[in-house]
Amino acid sequence: MKHLNYGKIVLIGAGHVGSAILDSILRMNLADEIVVINRNEKKAQGVVLDASHTTAFAYSSNTNIRVGGFEECEDAQIIINTAGPSIQPGNSRDRMVLLQTNVEVMRETMKKIVSYTRDAILINVSNPMDILTYIAQHEFRYPMNKIFGTGTLLDTARFNKMLADICKVDAKNVTGFVMGEHGGTCFIPWNCVNIVGIPFSEFQSQFELEEPIDKEKLLHEVKVSGLDIVELKGYTSSGIALSVCRLVGAIMRNEKAVVPVSTVLDGEYGLAEVAMSMPCVISRNGIDRVLQLPLDEEGKKGLEHCYEYLHGIIGQIQ
């Protein structure tokens, strides 16, 4: 194993998402050194120059920010991949429209990364999330515990916020996970949802709701909220940037935090040869453990449907 420069992050991609991630990492003082790689080097130089000026303000870390090439991956602790196009306003509301283009972008990116390292923890942010995460791990034999995607972490945050608003509580008091695909086949294991230990089945009485929570409607709103933001704003950036920072913080501080990330399955729930989001324990080692929630029949059906969909797409990729 090569010597890692702990505190060093390589950020691949300087578009809307990459720039937002850079700003958020700086704001939260999560790195000692950040190297930005972008196909358009002038764009990267502009993003880095702009961000570097923020380090002069009080309470900002004196982080070393610069533009570099893939050789910078060799001693990086964390690599964040945002390379490839994103869904544009007016396009299909399905992230799978990016499949063909971004599979090739991912392959090109991974060839460069693995020529320098398989020791860094690699966080994938590019879509279609689960397919690209699987391609990156499976085709390039990256260590399974060291590569994962942001997956349904942001979907989970959206779900917790929506549910908290209904029950009029702080979203940080909600425990619930969106699992499976970062896309249309994601599902919620409702039997595992609670607010400070109060199970979902008792929400109406405990929180004095006028009517039961419509589970299908709420899940639909979670699924389309990101796409709605794209139509309204042109792109998403804030939520995904903090999702990445949540993972970076868990790694840098060795938190052993339980968060849902897209990981290649290796027998969990009897499934393999696919990546999808599961609650995982995240530490400085990457994924310490993949947790298997006690799914009820509804949850098992959701898991099976998601698996069949993603596994079918993987089988069609050339």
Q: Of residues 182, 220, 305, 311, which has the active-site annotation?
A: 182
**Contact 18/48 with Cβ under 8 angstroms?**
no
**Contact 22/51 with Cβ under 8 angstroms?**
yes
**In 3-state terms, what secondary structure has residue 127?**
coil
Calpha distance 73→12 (Å, rounded): 10
Rounded to the nearest 5°, which phi and psi values hold at 62?
-85, 60
**Contact 167/208 with Cβ under 8 angstroms?**
no
Would you call 3 a catalytic residue per the annotation? no
Amino acid symbol at 221 = E
Instruction: Please compute, for residue 2, the number of CA atoms within 13 A of its CA located in the half-sphere on the CB side.
Output: 16
Sequence-ordered alpha helix ranges (H) in the chain: 16-27, 41-52, 99-114, 129-140, 153-167, 203-206, 215-233, 238-252, 297-316
* Cα angle 212-216-218, degrees, rounded to a multiple of 5: 75
Calpha distance 97→93 (Å, rounded): 8
Calpha distance 155→34 (Å, rounded): 27
Calpha distance 280→251 (Å, rounded): 12
Calpha distance 132→106 (Å, rounded): 7
Active-site residue list: 182
